[in-house]
Amino acid sequence: MNGSLIVKLMAGLLPVAPVTADMLEDDPSYETGAESEDGGGEADSRYADYEGPTMEEEVAGYSSSTPTIRGMDSINIQVGDNFDPMAGVYALDNIDGNITDNIEVSGNNVDTSSPGNYTVNYRVENSGNGWFEYTRPITVSEAPTDTVPMVPPTEEQLTGESSDDGGSENGGTTDVQFKNMDDTTINAGADFDPKSGIQIIDTDGIDITHTAYISGEVDTETPGEYTIAYAVFDQFEIPHAHARTITVQ
pLDDT digits (tens, 9 = 90+) for 120-153: 999 999 988 999 999 999 999 999 999 998 899 9
Give the C-alpha distances (Å, rounded to integers) separating 77 from 86, 143, 144, 148. 14, 8, 7, 10
Where are the chain's structural domains? 3-46+155-248, 51-141
Same fold, 3-46+155-248 and 51-141: yes
pTM tops 0.75 = no
Q: What residues contact 217, with CB distance under 8 A and at least 6 apart?
A: 17, 226
Q: Tell me, what DSSP letter sits at residue 60?
A: H
Band of residue 41 on the pLDDT scale cut at 50, 70, 90 = low
Higher per-residue pLDDT: 230 or 140: 140
Domain 3-46+155-248 CATH superfamily: Immunoglobulins (2.60.40.10)
Q: With pLDDT > 70 as the criterion, what percentage of the chain qualifies?
A: 78
Band of residue 18 on the pLDDT scale cut at 50, 70, 90 = very low
How large is the average pLDDT for residues 22-28?
41
Specify the CATH number of the domain 51-141: 2.60.40.10
Q: Tell me, what DSSP letter sits at residue 49?
A: T
SS3 state of residue 124: strand
**Dist CA 139 CA 134 (whole Å):** 16
Count of CB atoms situated within 10 Å of the CB of 218 = 19
pLDDT digit string (tens) for 108-122?
Answer: 999 999 999 999 999
CA dihedral 72, 73, 74, 79 (to 10 degrees): -80
**Dist CA 138 CA 141 (whole Å):** 10
Assign 3-class secondary structure to 169-204. Answer: HHCCCCCCEEECCCCEEECCCCCCCCCCCCEEECCC
Residue (of 67, 71, 47, 69) closest to 171 by Cα position: 67
Phi-psi domain of 240 (left: phi exceeds 0; alpha: psi -120 through 50; beta: other): beta
**Quick one: pLDDT at residue 111?**
96
pLDDT, averaged across the chain: 80
